[in-house]
Amino acid sequence: MNSEYMVKKQRSRAAAAGITAGIIAAGSLLLSPAGPAAAHDGHDHEVATCAVDSAELRWGVKESFRNYISGSIANGEWITENGVTYETPAFSWANGVGSFASDLSEGSIEFTGDIHFTGHNGGLTLDVSNPKIVFTGPDAAQLVLDMGEADETGNVAYERVVAAKVDLAGYDAGDGSTLTVEEAPVALTAEGADAFNGEYGDYYAGQELDPLALNLAFSGCDLASSEATPAPSEEPEETEEAKVPISEDVEESEFPWLPVAIGGVALIVIGVTTGMLIAGNKKKPKA
Ligand code: HEM
């Protein structure tokens, strides 16, 4: 084994050690809490549970449907039961119970009470009962209903059907312990359209029902401080950022920065080491 070979071997060992050290250094830098991935991932808002103290829902179902029922075609009427009241143009349900996350990502409020629509001399009987608001995101909720024709025992054809989607954008969070929305747009789902239509109706998915009003008071959370709360006075850019659901934010940070950075550092170390080896070889006089 000649001395040139020994020198080269030692250099390549040193180069390998340098590469390993570089990779470890890059890895620990990126994994440290102050590293870019962790900083990007850090959510400083906390999602708390809001316990409902009082809840009222006002909703007219669909103005054209009320006109159809009470008009000369169906010659019908509606009666309300179990706490529901009607004052043109809306039915009201009070005493809703439930809880929800302060970013409105989950949770629900259930109301009890029935509307019985009848018409066509008994040819039409349609119940709309027990609405439930299910929160699904900062601006979105579902309206779940018991709907359809009731049998002798009072069971309806469509139980707990997701009848509509509710757009909650523009709700007022007040002092942080209330949520008020006066005219939240409500759009039928396909299941909701089926439940309304019976044999004769022609409602379709996406069709607008009457807007819905919700008045909530709750405790245990501060809705106004929630990052997800869209405040109308905020700059549009800030509002957009605040609306980004947590899951999307996390997904964004899942770009594989760590392996990319390690690869980059490794390439630099290899380049520098190779350069040093070449330079060393040039300087060394031939044996
Ligand atoms: C004897 C039975 C029935 C007859 C003759 C009948 C007839 C009609 C007619 C003529 C319309 C059109 C009204 C208009 O354009 O202004 C209509 C609308 C409608 N019907 Fe009936 N119908 C009957 C039963 C039912 C039943 C059982 C249901 C559901 C359970 C139903 C649900 C609807 C709906 C959702 C509409 C649309 C109302 C709107 O304009 O918003 N009908 N029906």
Determine, yes or no, domain membership for 232: no
C-beta 100 within 6 A of ligand 1: no
What's the pLDDT at 207? 98
Give the number of the atom of ligand 1 that is nearest the alpha carbon of residue 149. Answer: 30
Cα 184–Cα 185–Cα 190 angle in degrees, nearest 5? 135
The secondary structure of 187-211 as a DSSP string is EE-HHHHHHHHTTT----TT-EEEE
- Ligand 1: which of 68, 197, 203 to mutate, judged by most atoms within 8 Å of the beta carbon? 68
Cβ(117) to ligand 1 under 6 A? no
What distance in Å separates the CA atoms of residue 78 and residue 65, rounded to the nearest whole number? 11
pTM attached to this predicted model: 0.68
Atom number, ligand 1, closest to the C-alpha of residue 148: 30
Give the pLDDT confidence score for residue 280 in this predicted structure.
63
Judge whether 217 lies within some domain: yes
DSSP character at residue 234: S
In a domain, 220, yes or no: yes
Q: What are the CA-CA distances from residue 262 to residues 35, 258, 271 (Å)?
A: 14, 6, 14
Do residues 160 and 276 share a domain? no
Asked if residue 233 is part of any domain, the answer here is no
- 82 and 175 in a single domain? The answer is yes
Tokens linked to 39? 């900083």
Question: Is the same domain home to 208 and 107?
Answer: yes
Is 73 inside any structural domain?
Answer: yes
242 found inside a domain: no
Residue-level pLDDT at 46: 81
Contact 150, 124 (CB under 8 A): no
Q: Which residues contact 47 (CB under 8 A, 6 or more apart)?
A: 101, 102, 103, 105, 226
Strand-pairing partners, residue 116, are 79, 127
Residue whose pair of structure tokens reads 């529901």 in the numeric block? 84
Measured CA to CA, the distance from residue 199 to residue 148 in angstroms comes to 11
CA pseudo-torsion sign 124, 109, 53, 169 = negative
Domain boundaries, position 273 = 3-41+252-283
Q: What is the pLDDT of residue 255?
A: 61
Report pLDDT for 198.
Answer: 87
Q: Return the amino acid letter for 80.
A: T
Q: Are residues 125 and 172 in the same domain?
A: yes
Whether 23 and 58 map to the same domain: the answer is no
Q: Indicate which residue's Cα is closest to atom 27 of ligand 1.
A: 124
Torsional sign, CA 180, 106, 207, 92 = negative
Which helix (H) or strand (E) covers residue 128, if one does? Answer: strand 124-137
What is the torsion angle, in degrees rounded to the nearest 10, for the CA atoms of residue 79, residue 82, residue 87 and residue 92?
-130
Q: Measure the CA–CA gap between 174 and 204, rounded to whole angstroms.
A: 35
Q: Whose CA is nearest to atom 8 of ligand 1?
A: 200
Q: Distance, CA 91 to ligand 1 centroid (Å)?
A: 21
pLDDT tens digits for the chain (287 residues)? 444 444 444 554 544 444 444 444 444 434 333 333 323 333 456 899 999 999 999 999 999 999 999 999 999 999 999 999 999 999 999 999 999 999 999 999 999 999 999 999 999 999 999 999 999 998 899 999 999 988 888 889 999 999 999 999 989 999 999 999 999 999 999 999 999 998 899 999 999 999 999 999 999 999 953 334 454 554 555 444 444 444 444 444 456 666 666 666 667 766 666 666 666 665 555 54
Q: Give the count of domains, the chain.
A: 2
- Asked if residue 179 and residue 95 are part of one domain, the reply reads yes
Atom of ligand 1 nearest to the CA of 126: 30
Question: What's the first-to-final CA gap in the chain, in angstroms?
Answer: 13
* β-bridge pairing 114-119 and 107-110: unpaired
Task: Say whether both 37 and 106 belong to one domain.
Answer: no
| Closest ligand 1 atom, residue 203 Cα | 35
Q: Which residue has the tokens 């470890």?
A: 24
CA distance 186 to 164: 6
State whether 12 and 147 are in the same domain: no
In terms of domains, do 171 and 272 share one?
Answer: no
Please say which residue of 181, 210, 226 terminates a domain.
226
Asked whether residue 247 is domain-assigned, the answer is no
pLDDT, residue 23, reads 46
The per-residue pLDDT for 150 is 85
d(CA 72, CA 99) in angstroms, rounded, equals: 43
Residue 147 Cα to ligand 1 middle (Å): 16
Q: Are residues 83 and 185 in the same domain?
A: yes
Asked whether the beta carbons of 180 and 174 are under 8 A apart, the reply is yes
Centroid of ligand 1 to alpha carbon of 201 (angstroms): 5
- Whether 196 is in the pocket of ligand 1, judged by its Cβ within 6 Å, is yes
CA distance 227 to 244: 10
67 lines ligand 1 (CB under 6 A): no
The residue whose CA has the least distance to atom 13 of ligand 1 is 68
What residue has token string 């401080």? 225
CA gap 56, 61 in Å, rounded: 15
**Which ligand 1 atom is the nearest neighbour of the CA of 120?**
1
Instruction: Assess whether the C-beta atom of 197 lies below 6 angstroms from ligand 1.
Output: yes
Same domain, 19 and 149: no
Residue 153 lies in a domain: yes
Say whether both 74 and 171 belong to one domain.
Answer: yes
* Ligand 1 center from residue 67 Cα (angstroms): 11
